[in-house]
Chains A and B, each alone.
Chain A
Amino acid sequence: MTDRHDDMPWDLDDDELVRSALMSLREDVSVQPLPEPAFVRARAEGRDEVSGDTVVTLATRRRRSFILLAGVAAAALIATGTGLLVQAGDGTAPPAATSTDSAGEPTMHMLDSTEWSAALGLPVASTVGTAKPDGQCFQTPRSDTWERRVSTLSDGRVVAGQWIGTASGGTNAPTDAIDTAVAQCEKTYTVTQRVTEDLPGDSRFRSWHARGKDGSTYWWVEATRGASTSYLTVAELDGMTYTSEEMRQVAQSALGDVDLTTQSIAP
C-alpha cells in the first residue's frame, strides 16, 4: 500500500526501508513474552471489584457536600421527566455500548449504569435505550444515525441521557443538532457557563451549565471526534453539583479515552 504525494518526491526504496524498519520492531515485542490471557482477565475482573468501591467512595465523598433542597429535587424531577432529558418511555433492548464507523472501529462509547454511577456519585439503577429518540430541546435529525440511552435512579428519576450521532456518508459530525438543541433550551434555561476545549485525538469537548426558572440545574455536554458526536445531559439532583472538569471526563469516557469506573473524578 503506497500513497504517493505528488507534490514531493518519493522513492519506493524508501517506502520499503520504512516498512522494514517498522516491521523489525516486532522482534523487540517477541523478546518479552506477554502475560497469559488469564492474567489479563484477572486484571479486568479485579477492577470490577475495585470499581464498586470507587462508586461507593465517590458517593460518600459527594454526600459530604450534600445539600438537600427538596423543592429543587422535586422541580428537577418534573423538569427532567417532562422536558430536558425527555421521559424514559418504553425501554428497549440497549444498543451496542460502543458505536462503530464503517470500518468497524469504535468511535463513541455509550456509558452504562456503572460508569454513570461513578461519574455522578449517585446510584444509577438503569441505563436503557428508548424508542423515543427526541427530547424537548433535542430533535433527532433523520439524515444521520443516532442512538440514545436514558439513565434513571432507583426511584425512577431520570438523571442523565446520552445520544450518539454519526454522520451518514460524511466526515463532519452532526453537531448542528446539538447547537440547535442548546439554542432551543436557552429559551427556557439560563446558561451560566460555557466551555469549549480541544481534547487529545483531534476531539472536541463543549459543555454548558444551565439553570431553570425553578432552580433546577443541568449540564449539557458534547464530545466530538471524526464523524461522530455524543450529546450528554446531566441533571444535578439531590444537591449534587458537578464541575466542567468532571463533565470533561464524562465526555472523554464517551470518546473511549477514560474509564470512569477506574478513574476517580476530581473533587
Chain B
Amino acid sequence: MKGGEASAEAEFDDFYRSTAQGVVHLVYAATGDLELARDSAQEAFARAWQRWDQVRATDEPGAWVRTVARRIAISAWRKDTNRDKAMERHGEPPSPAGPTVDRVTVVAALRTLGPEVRETLALHYLADMSVEDISRQTGAPPGTIKARLHRGRAQLAKTLTDKEDHDD
C-alpha cells in the first residue's frame, strides 16, 4: 500500500478513527499497561496499513488488528522479563495518563492476575467473545479458557470488593 490511492487512505483513516480506541482499550485491559497498549495498537495499525489490501479484504479487519496488537503487546511484555521484578521492588510506575484512583485500583487488581487470565477477561468482556471464540484465537482448549475466565473474574471481583469494603 505504498503511496496508496487517496480512497484507500481515506478508508484506512476511517477504520483507524473508528476502531483504534477500542483496540487500545482491549490491550490495556489485557496487559494493565496503557503505554504498552498505545504503542502496540499503533504498531498493529501500521502493519495493517502496510498490507491494507489484504487486511481490508478480511471478514473483520478490526479483529485482525486486535489480534496483532495483542500479540505485539504480549511479546513485548514477555521480553521484558525484569519488569515484574522491578515493579515488586519499586512499586507501580506512575502513569502519564493519570488515571483516577478507582481505575488505579482496577489496573492494580488486573496486574495481580496472570497474563493469560487478563487476556481472557479482556477478550470476553471487551471484545464480547465466547469461550469457543477465545479458544480458537488463543489456541488454548475451551476448558482452560473457562477456568481462566472463572478464576480471573472471581479474583478480580474479590479484589475490587475488598478494596471497596476497606475504603468504606
Seen from chain A, the residues whose Cβ lies within 8 Å of a Cβ on chain B are 1, 3, 5, 8, 10-11, 14-15, 17-19, 21-32, 34-35, 37-38, 40-41, 43-45, 47-48, 96-98, 100-106, 171, 200-203, 225-227, 255-259
Given contacts A25-B28, A44-B47, contact A1 B71 (CB under 8 A): no
Assess whether A200 is in contact with B2, with CB atoms less than 8 Å apart.
no
Return A242 CB to nearest CB of chain B, in Å: 21
Assess whether B21 is in contact with A100, with CB atoms less than 8 Å apart.
no
Q: Tell me whether B9 is interfacial, beta carbon within 8 Å.
A: yes
Q: Can you list the 4 inter-chain pairs with the closest CB atoms, starting with the nearest?
A: A104-B59, A226-B139, A14-B157, A44-B46
Give which listed residue, A18, A30, A35, contacts B157 with CB less than 8 A: A18
Return A227 CB to nearest CB of chain B, in Å: 7
Q: Which residues of A contact B139 (CB under 8 A)?
A: 201-203, 225-227
Give which listed residue, A15, A28, A96, A257, contacts B99 with CB less than 8 A: A28
Return A223 CB to nearest CB of chain B, in Å: 12
Assess whether B138 is in contact with A201, with CB atoms less than 8 Å apart.
yes
CA distance A24 to B68 in the complex (A): 23
Give which listed residue, B50, B78, B109, contacts A48 with CB less than 8 A: B50
Q: Which residues of B contact A102 (CB under 8 A)?
A: 136
Return A199 CB to nearest CB of chain B, in Å: 10
Given contacts A28-B28, A28-B34, A225-B139, contact A40 B150 (CB under 8 A): no
Given contacts A44-B49, A97-B54, A259-B47, contact A200 B75 (CB under 8 A): yes
Q: Which residues of B contact A226 (CB under 8 A)?
A: 135-139
Return A186 CB to nearest CB of chain B, in Å: 28
Per-residue interface assignment for chain B, residues 1 to 43, with 1 indicating a CB less than 8 Å from any chain A CB and 0 otherwise: 1110000010011001100110011001100001001100111
Q: Which residues of A contact B74 (CB under 8 A)?
A: 200-201
Q: Tell me whether B98 is interfacial, beta carbon within 8 Å.
A: yes
Mark out the residues of chain B between 127 and 151 whose CB falls within 8 Å of any chain A CB in the assembled complex. Answer: 128, 130-131, 133, 135-141, 146-147, 149-150
Given contacts A15-B153, A104-B58, A257-B75, contact A29 B28 (CB under 8 A): yes
Q: Tell me whether B161 is interfacial, beta carbon within 8 Å.
A: yes
CA distance A196 to B71 in the complex (A): 21
Assess whether B54 is in contact with A29, with CB atoms less than 8 Å apart.
no
CA distance A38 to B68 in the complex (A): 20
CA distance A64 to B97 in the complex (A): 48
Assess whether B54 is in contact with A105, with CB atoms less than 8 Å apart.
no
Given contacts A44-B46, A106-B68, contact A21 B59 (CB under 8 A): no
Return B103 CB to nearest CB of chain A, in Å: 6
Q: Which residue of B lies closest to A4 (CB)?
A: B150
Q: Tell me whether B100 is interfacial, beta carbon within 8 Å.
A: yes
CA distance A14 to B153 in the complex (A): 8
Q: Tell me whether B83 is interfacial, beta carbon within 8 Å.
A: no
Per-residue interface assignment for chain B, residues 56 to 87, with 1 indicating a CB less than 8 Å from any chain A CB and 0 otherwise: 01111001100110011011001000000000
CA distance A252 to B68 in the complex (A): 12
Given contacts A1-B124, A8-B150, A31-B97, contact A21 B2 (CB under 8 A): no
Q: Which residues of B contact A34 (CB under 8 A)?
A: 20-21, 24, 38, 41-42
Q: Which residues of A contact B57 (CB under 8 A)?
A: 96
Assess whether A8 is in contact with B154, with CB atoms less than 8 Å apart.
yes
Assess whether B147 is in contact with A21, with CB atoms less than 8 Å apart.
no
CA distance A15 to B57 in the complex (A): 36
Q: Which residues of B contact A17 (CB under 8 A)?
A: 157, 160-161
CA distance A183 to B122 in the complex (A): 42
A-B contacts besides A25-B107, A40-B46, A98-B58, 7 pairs, CB < 8 Å: A3-B150, A14-B157, A17-B157, A37-B45, A97-B51, A171-B135, A202-B139
